[in-house]
Amino acid sequence: FRIHYYCDPCIANKRQKDLTRNLDSSLPSSGHSSEEGQDLDNIDESVLQLQQMLIPNYCIETLTNVLGLLGHPVDVLRPLQDIKSAMDLASEIIDLLTLSLLPSIWLCADELSLKIHEELKTLMKLTGNALEYLRSYSTVDHCRITYLHLLCITTKFLSSLVPLEVSDYILPSALKISLSVALMDAPIYLLHPGLNATLQEYARQFTSPDETECLKLFEEIKNIAKSLKSAVTILKSFEIQKISMKTVYLSKFSLNFHKNYSIIKKYILILQTKYEDFNPDDAAMASKLILGLLSNPNEEIRVKTYEEINFLVSAALGVEQVRGRFTWTSLTFLFDTNILTEIICHGVTEDNEKIRTRAEDILIFLLKGKLQMGQAGWDKFLHSLSPIFGLLQSLATSHSPLGQCISKMLDPDIYSDVNLSDLEVLKGNVRLLYTQDATIREEALFRIIYLLGMENNTEEKRPRLASLHGLPLSSLLILNHQ
């Protein structure tokens, strides 16, 4: 057979006609014998026309044979030079194929184009199988090299002929799986970022569960690797001011992998030192960091976090001498409603005794820290605590120091000292009527009676029940003191 080169519409070339004309002019005229020779040439030309191949068909056929050669174990009788020659041939054939076809071939619907579609899809399926076969023998040097070479050739072919938008519909499943798995090849990611970027572009277009799972796993591994790098930076650094909040936040994702929980102490040190200078984005990341540590599924991380926060709070607000002294400004990262909610709702009710004790101590120090904080610090703390007063007051009890401290804040004799409003004190004592502790309920009732009695013009403010009609007065409660 011969390649249908001069008749291929993709390539315009008149050399065949020029060559024929030159040969005819150089031969002497011989009358009858010349006519017989011309007839014979015409017959040969007709026979050869039936055996001609289009360039795309030739390229696909050659690549199919090359892939068949790669998909078998290396024969001791076949030197590795043959494999290298086959890969070099495949690379040149791909160049020829991309010259003879355009990406628009996938939009053509004529008979010839549809046939090329099917042949290309079959070729891509064989490519996927060959890649998977070579990857399974990646511990063998020549298989590894061949795998990388074939993967480069494949991505070059796809980039030239298969648009990203239609790749999910065109590529066979075998090739999509091979490309997705190649994403997690660490040497490719580190040494060949361009190749890995191309693989990512195509993998993001795939929608089948197997391919999307590979992409998801790749993203997770990449994030963990970045997190480990950030964690190493923090652990080795002695200059806290140079560590960005983004680096700190990124490092938290690898805690469960390296398990070096001393980094939590550095987190707290960074926040107590730099939080006042954070912009809103950094402050939001700091809040998410602390919340993630306080609510981490790993109990050891939660214990370590509560211990470090408790030490900092006691050092800033406590009266005992501890290593180092801090001011209330070191605690401003804790003056966050979400963080306080986590401590109140989950820390104090934690099954782990260490966490529960540390959470209670933190709240006690904060609730009794007005003197140490000063007016500015106390106002800032109350501002973050006010939306969750109801949650805090649900912990009121006469059996624990924290519960007694919460109840004491609502005492009408001292509430003005802690800057609570009259309405907030009244609402707080009404909430205490629903607690299970009888002592607290009794105390709250007396306080409410006292507060109502202190109101001016109470006679005018009482509801006129006699003038009300159609109201469910039967639902009114009467509290009997026992």
pLDDT for 207-243, tens place per residue? 999 889 999 999 999 999 999 999 999 999 888 888 9
32-41, 53-62, 285-294, 460-469 — which is least confidently predicted? 32-41
Residue 185 confidence (pLDDT) above 70:
yes
181 shares its domain with 317 = no
326 shares its domain with 265 = yes
37 contacts: CB under 8 Å, gap ≥ 6 = none
Q: For all residues of the chain together, what is the average pLDDT?
A: 84
82-86, 267-271, 416-420, 461-465 — which is least confidently predicted? 461-465
* Whole-number percent of the chain with pLDDT over 70: 80
- What is the per-residue pLDDT for 481? 45
What region, left, alpha or beta, does residue 453 occupy, with left being phi > 0 and alpha being psi -120 to 50 degrees? alpha
Tell me, yes or no, whether 215 lies in a domain. no
| Planar angle of CA 4, 8, 9, nearest 5 degrees | 175
Alpha-carbon dihedral 268, 273, 276, 281, rounded to 10 degrees: -50
189 shares its domain with 287 = no
CATH for 365: 1.25.10
- What is the per-residue pLDDT for 15? 43
Containing structural domain, residue 134 = 55-207
272 shares its domain with 365 = yes
Contact 201, 190 (CB under 8 A): no
Residue 467 confidence (pLDDT) above 70:
no
68 shares its domain with 123 = yes
- What is the per-residue pLDDT for 394? 92
- What is the per-residue pLDDT for 143? 86
Q: Is the pTM of this model over 0.85?
A: no
- What is the per-residue pLDDT for 20? 45
Tell me, yes or no, whether 3 lies in a domain. no
Tell me, yes or no, whether 465 lies in a domain. no
113 shares its domain with 195 = yes
| Planar angle of CA 159, 164, 169, nearest 5 degrees | 115
Tell me, yes or no, whether 133 lies in a domain. yes
270 shares its domain with 375 = yes
444 shares its domain with 369 = yes
- Per-residue pLDDT band for 139 (boundaries 50, 70, 90) equals confident
Tell me, yes or no, whether 464 lies in a domain. no
Domain count within the chain: 2
Tell me the pLDDT tens digit for each residue of 10-59: 444 444 444 444 445 544 544 444 555 555 555 566 666 556 778 888 99
Tell me the pLDDT tens digit for each residue of 274-286: 898 899 999 999 9
Tell me, yes or no, whether 121 lies in a domain. yes
Tell me, yes or no, whether 19 lies in a domain. no
444 shares its domain with 298 = yes
Residue 270 confidence (pLDDT) above 50:
yes
- What is the per-residue pLDDT for 127? 93
- What is the per-residue pLDDT for 201? 94
277 shares its domain with 198 = no
- What is the per-residue pLDDT for 361? 94
- What is the per-residue pLDDT for 154? 94
67 shares its domain with 182 = yes
Q: Kindly state the average pLDDT of the residues 260-273.
A: 93
- What is the per-residue pLDDT for 358? 95
- What is the per-residue pLDDT for 281? 93
- What is the per-residue pLDDT for 2? 46
Residue 291 confidence (pLDDT) above 80:
yes
- Per-residue pLDDT band for 328 (boundaries 50, 70, 90) equals confident
- Look at residues 207, 222, 254 and tell me which one is the last residue of a structural domain: 207
Tell me, yes or no, whether 382 lies in a domain. yes
172 shares its domain with 277 = no
